């Protein structure tokens, strides 16, 4: 998919009482172009503030650096006290993949930040979790052991030399301490609501589902102990799940309070479903659930697909529909309103580009104006999105219908693929226009001196590469869109015309994208790269054309037309 990558960063600063200092740190972060500040959570007792911001990888990297730099200037660790363990002015700074970026790429961001912090600020840096330099440094608590007060001794221990920076207690280190930087999965804080006030039952339910498990008891209800006298535990149902049971006076009921440390391993829906079963055995009913903070959209999309499939419906539904199914099925409105536009992390930032966000009328009016963009490239991408949407629709109209039972699995899978393709094509509507704007900007650069002309040539080359690669990826993605149309063509016979239009829209997309690749190759200086681009474009267009011809001939025959062959 070509959706723009989004990274979350959650630095923890060792100041939770002085609002002026907190505001200066967050202002520095928020001033970085491309960063969206989501949450600032100060704690007086802990004397610690957890800041959450998101954006594109490079913007988040810069935001993290300026936050750490500002904290090192304003926070004096020699005077710091608080209930929470801490190692430095910026205690910990994790990068979290949200969309379109891998954990390893986030780990690389952590390494780049660590090097910059050590080199430019003089602060020793330890890496943890996915960025850890060796296994024993993965756990934050292990790395932070000894805290700020034990940092001098730690730096003298060769086994605890920092990953970046010198093992010296300089004046900067004395004031700012050390910082732990890493990459980890998104942590979801989540509560499951129970219809009981019995805390013991809530604690037992939590123990049965969490990774830590529950203490084993014998037939006489006595704790079973091992040879060393330690209580034996039976593991819980889920890994990457931490849970406790408690009574919430505000709600006059108990909850199972959960931290999902990797929802891709133990999902929201799987844990909620299992908790319902475990609670019922205790005579307790799960009435709903409560999200604390924000959630990645993917977690709710997974839940929506799960519950649709459980109903025998096609899970390849549009994202908004999947999210609404998840909200209802998880009971996220049990305790009050749940606005997905405020609670889903991707929706707190501009997830759709300016063209995609327009109404059909506004888009077509702009297209018909004298503005040079959007143009044919954006329209080609739109045709790809329409093709994929039609294929997904046919899947929805086929799954669960009498006479098509043997197609359920294939149509479900096809609709899921088509929905992903749709989102990628939509993103490239704006990407194509941005690529054109990049060429226009390069052409406007000064060319008065040899140095100016060299900068302009390089900028024009780089912009042209983007202007070639955007329609090329649209074209190559259309190969998959045609495959989706082929599956749709054997789906519900009442939707044959829709499958046919899906194929034709894909063909228009491919032809249009090929035109845009070709026109940008005209005069492209890198002959070898131009030849490679041309070969890829020609191959993809040939595959698409052949596939579309097969589909349209089949559908014409079925609808009473003549075989043109």
Tell me the per-residue pLDDT of 61-84, one tens digit each, with 9 for 90 and over: 999 999 999 999 999 999 999 888
Share of the chain above pLDDT 70, in %: 98
Tokens at residue 514, please? 């090929």
**CA gap 48, 57 in Å, rounded:** 25
Please say if the pLDDT value at position 351 is more than 80.
Answer: no
Average pLDDT over residues 276-286: 97
**CA gap 140, 129 in Å, rounded:** 7
Give the CATH superfamily of 6-183: Formiminotransferase, N-terminal subdomain (3.30.990.10)
Residue whose pair of structure tokens reads 């009971």 in the numeric block: 331
Q: Where does the pLDDT of residue 1 fall: very low under 50, low under 70, confident under 90, or very high at 90 and above?
A: very low
**Are both 6-183 and 188-348 of the same fold?**
no
pLDDT tens per residue, range 40-49: 989 888 899 9
Please say if the pLDDT value at position 390 is more than 70.
Answer: yes
In 3D space, the residue among 465, 32, 2 whose CA is nearest the CA of residue 11 turns out to be 32
**CA gap 544, 442 in Å, rounded:** 33
**CA gap 79, 514 in Å, rounded:** 64
Q: Where are the domains of the chain?
A: 6-183, 188-348, 360-558
Find the angle CA(458)-CA(464)-CA(468) to the nearest 5 degrees.
Answer: 150
Give the residue numbers marked as catalytic.
84, 432
Q: What is the pLDDT of residue 57?
A: 96
Q: Where does the pLDDT of residue 216 fall: very low under 50, low under 70, confident under 90, or very high at 90 and above?
A: confident
pLDDT tens per residue, range 132-160: 999 999 999 899 999 999 999 999 999 99
Q: Where does the pLDDT of residue 392 fall: very low under 50, low under 70, confident under 90, or very high at 90 and above?
A: very high
110 contacts 11 by C-beta, under 8 angstroms? no
CATH code of the region 360-558: 1.20.120.680
Q: What is the pLDDT of residue 224?
A: 87
Q: Where does the pLDDT of residue 223 fall: very low under 50, low under 70, confident under 90, or very high at 90 and above?
A: confident
Please say if the pLDDT value at position 373 is more than 90.
Answer: no
Average pLDDT over residues 389-396: 97
Average pLDDT over residues 104-118: 97
pLDDT tens per residue, range 293-302: 889 999 999 9
Average pLDDT over residues 312-320: 95
| Mean of the per-residue pLDDT values of the chain | 94
* 3-state SS, residue 230: coil
pLDDT tens per residue, range 435-494: 999 999 999 999 999 999 999 999 999 999 999 999 999 999 999 999 999 999 999 999
Q: Does domain 188-348 have CATH number 3.40.50.720?
A: no
Backbone φ and ψ for 136, nearest 5 degrees, come out as: -70, -10
Q: Where does the pLDDT of residue 3 fall: very low under 50, low under 70, confident under 90, or very high at 90 and above?
A: low
Q: What is the pLDDT of residue 565?
A: 44
Average pLDDT over residues 263-274: 97
Q: Where does the pLDDT of residue 350 fall: very low under 50, low under 70, confident under 90, or very high at 90 and above?
A: low
Please say if the pLDDT value at position 258 is more than 60.
Answer: yes
Total number of residues shown for the chain? 565
Q: What is the pLDDT of residue 530?
A: 94
Q: What is the pLDDT of residue 465?
A: 95
126 contacts 88 by C-beta, under 8 angstroms? no
Average pLDDT over residues 254-267: 94
């Amino acid at each position: 998919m070509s959706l723009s990558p989004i990274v979350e960063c959650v630095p923890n600063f060792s100041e939770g009482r002085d609002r002026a200092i907190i505001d200066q740190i967050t202002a520095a972060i928020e001033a970085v172009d491309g960063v969206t500040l989501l949450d600032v959570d100060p704690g007086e007792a802990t004397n610690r503030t957890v800041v959450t911001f998101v954006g594109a990888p490079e913007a988040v990297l810069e935001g993290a650096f300026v936050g750490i730099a500002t904290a090192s200037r304003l926070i004096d660790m020699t005077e710091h006290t608080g209930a929470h363990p801490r190692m430095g002015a910026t205690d910990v700074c994790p990068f979290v993949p949200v969309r379109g970026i891998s954990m390893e790429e986030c780990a690389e961001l952590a390494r780049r930040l660590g090097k910059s912090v050590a080199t430019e600020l003089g602060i020793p840096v330890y890496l943890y979790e996915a960025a850890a330099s060796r296994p024993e440094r993965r756990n934050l608590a292990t790395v932070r052991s000894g805290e700020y007060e034990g940092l001098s001794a730690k730096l003298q221990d060769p086994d605890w030399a920092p990953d970046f920076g010198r093992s010296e207690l300089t004046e900067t280190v004395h004031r700012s301490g050390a910082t732990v930087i890493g990459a980890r999965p998104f942590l979801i804080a989540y509560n499951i609501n129970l219809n009981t006030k019995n805390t013991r039952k809530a604690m037992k339910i939590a123990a049965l589902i969490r990774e830590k498990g529950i203490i084993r008891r014998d037939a006489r209800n006595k704790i079973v102990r091992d040879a060393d006298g330690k209580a034996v535990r039976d593991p819980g149902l889920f890994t990457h799940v931490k849970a406790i049971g408690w009574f919430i006076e505000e709600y006059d009921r108990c909850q199972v309070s959960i931290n999902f440390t990797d929802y891709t391993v133990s999902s929201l829906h799987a844990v909620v479903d299992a908790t319902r079963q475990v609670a019922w055995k205790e005579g307790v009913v799960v009435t709903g659930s409560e999200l604390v903070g924000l959630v990645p959209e993917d977690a709710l999309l997974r839940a929506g697909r799960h519950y649709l499939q459980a109903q025998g419906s096609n899970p390849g539904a549009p994202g908004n529909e999947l999210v609404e199914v998840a909200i209802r099925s998880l009971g996220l409105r049990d305790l009050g309103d749940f606005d997905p536009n405020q609670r889903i992390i991707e929706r707190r930032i501009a997830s759709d580009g300016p063209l995609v966000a327009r109404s059909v009328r506004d888009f077509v009016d702009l297209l018909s104006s004298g503005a040079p963009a959007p143009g044919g490239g954006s329209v080609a991408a739109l045709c790809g999105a329409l093709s994929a949407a039609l294929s997904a629709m046919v899947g929805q109209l086929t799954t669960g219908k009498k006479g098509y039972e043997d197609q359920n699995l294939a149509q479900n899978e096809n609709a899921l693929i088509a929905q992903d393709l749709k989102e990628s094509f939509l993103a490239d509507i704006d990407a194509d226009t941005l690529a054109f704007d990049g060429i226009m900007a390069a052409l406007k650069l000064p060319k008065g001196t040899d140095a100016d002309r060299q900068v302009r040539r390089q900028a024009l080359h780089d912009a042209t590469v983007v202007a070639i690669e955007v329609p090329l990826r649209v074209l190559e993605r259309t190969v998959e869109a045609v495959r989706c149309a082929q599956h749709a063509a054997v789906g519900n016979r009442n939707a044959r015309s829709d499958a046919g239009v899906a194929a034709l829209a894909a063909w228009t997309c491919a032809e249009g994208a090929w035109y845009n690749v070709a026109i940008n190759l005209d005069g492209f200086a890198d002959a070898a790269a131009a030849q490679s681009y041309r070969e890829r474009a020609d191959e993809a267009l040939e595959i698409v054309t052949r596939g579309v011809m097969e589909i349209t001939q089949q559908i014409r025959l079925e609808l009473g037309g003549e075989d043109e062959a």
